[in-house]
Amino acid sequence: MTSLAGKSAIVTGSTSGIGKGIAEALAKAGANVMLNGFGDAAEIETQRAALAASAKVKVAFHGADMAKPAEIRDLVASAGREFGRVDILVNNAGIQFVAPVEQFPEDRWDAIIAINLSSAFHATKAALPGMRQAGWGRVINIASAHGLVASADKSAYVAAKHGIVGLTKTVALETAGSGVTCVAICPGWVLTPLVQKQIDAKAAASGLSPEAAKAALLSEKQPSKEFATPEQIAETALFLCSRAADQITGSTIALDGGWLAQ
């Protein structure tokens, strides 16, 4: 079990799905955690308080809009004030929109690039000086199988996730030997609220039952025919914070049920 006692983390987009799973794993390993995301304020406060009580660490929340650089900088600065420093940054926030390129709304392109890619740049830029000073840090970018291969109708998402993989490699080179590492986790299909929307849309468009739509979605890409889980991704993130991962940097780690092996 990796102990992160005395460490502090920011997990963007952590009020649900993958980010929530990662935040919970880091807190249970002993790290103080800054949550971030959208949602009902009362529900978020309940989530924050419950995690702080169960993990016995400091858990805070910052509602930064990850499309706004000034708010991202304030998120990182707030975590530094709250916890003393930021040791672990998990760039997870993301949105999705699906349409052919010639029909893709320009405002949706701009929003996906801002939240799925540019936010990771702004957060990393703000967090790195403190990590360098401490001589230890972890930047974990939640990319996607779509950071390595493409699918039709997802131009903005695929472009952003490819960009995240490139950003990961560059940050890794720039921080090599400093005690800071940067890695991209590339999940395949994960049953999150974002993917559930795609399943619902597929079911509605094809007349399939929800279970049949899930099976059809998996069979298109994921040979295991099983979803990866937020818990599996969280355990991978936890491993990347361990001493065993000190020399894993600039890499992509695929949790994709064989998607990329095809």
Residues designated catalytic: 157
**Do 13 and 35 meet the contact criterion of CB atoms below 8 Å apart?**
no
Helix (H) or strand (E) holding 236: helix 230-240
Q: Give the number of other CB atoms < 10 A from CB of residue 27.
A: 23
The sign one gets for the Cα dihedral 60, 25, 168, 218 is negative
Nearest CA to 189 out of 246, 228, 239 is that of 228
Nearest CA to 142 out of 47, 234, 28 is that of 234
Structure tokens at 222: 């994921």
Give helix then strand counts, H and E, for the chain.
Answer: 9, 7
> CB within 8 A of 150, min separation 6: which ones?
158
DSSP state of 249: -
In one letter, which amino acid is 80? Answer: G
Question: Residue 118 in 3-state DSSP?
Answer: helix
